[in-house]
Amino acid sequence: MGKEMNRTAQRDEIMEKVRQFLATEYATDCKYVAGGEIMLPAVDDEGEEFYFTFKAAIPRGKRKDGGYIPYDGYAAAEAYEIDQQIKAEEKAAKEAEKARKAAEKERLKAAKKTVKKLNKEGLDKMVHEDE
């Protein structure tokens, strides 16, 4: 057996264990839909049926000059983690900017109200209003 066939056999063995686990855990009909891909039927809160699919792949890496740069799962996981952190920071920055704009809008609204009152009642009356 060659290297690729060994890896495919390992993938199939793992997927069979996953399929058996899902079928046992969720007491449902979990079937293969392709090599290395299984489906799990489910029902949503509204009673409509839908499907989960689980796919196992053995990545070779990226092509380069007639060969491959080997896939590094740890590097991919680290890159994903960094990407998620960047997205979270961008989201926090957007939320902060949104809050800043809302506060500025509220401040301008209050200032406009004061100017309107000043124009209507006059400065002297507003200055001595509390007395």
Q: What is the pLDDT of residue 128?
A: 65
pLDDT tens-digit series, residues 80-90: 999 999 999 99
User: Rounded to the nearest 10 degrees, how much is the dihedral formed by the CA atoms of 40, 44, 48, 54?
Assistant: -20
Query: Whole-angstrom Cα distance, residue 89 to residue 91?
Result: 5
Q: Is the pTM of this model over 0.85?
A: no
Query: Per the structure block, which two tokens stand in for 27?
Result: 């007491």
**DSSP structure class, residue 71:** P
Cα–Cα dist 110/116, whole Å: 10
One-letter amino acid for residue 80 of the chain: Y
| Averaged pLDDT, 27-55 | 91
More confident residue, 66 or 20: 20
**Is the CB of residue 26 less than 8 Å from the CB of residue 40?**
yes
The confidence band for 124, taking pLDDT boundaries of 50, 70 and 90, is low
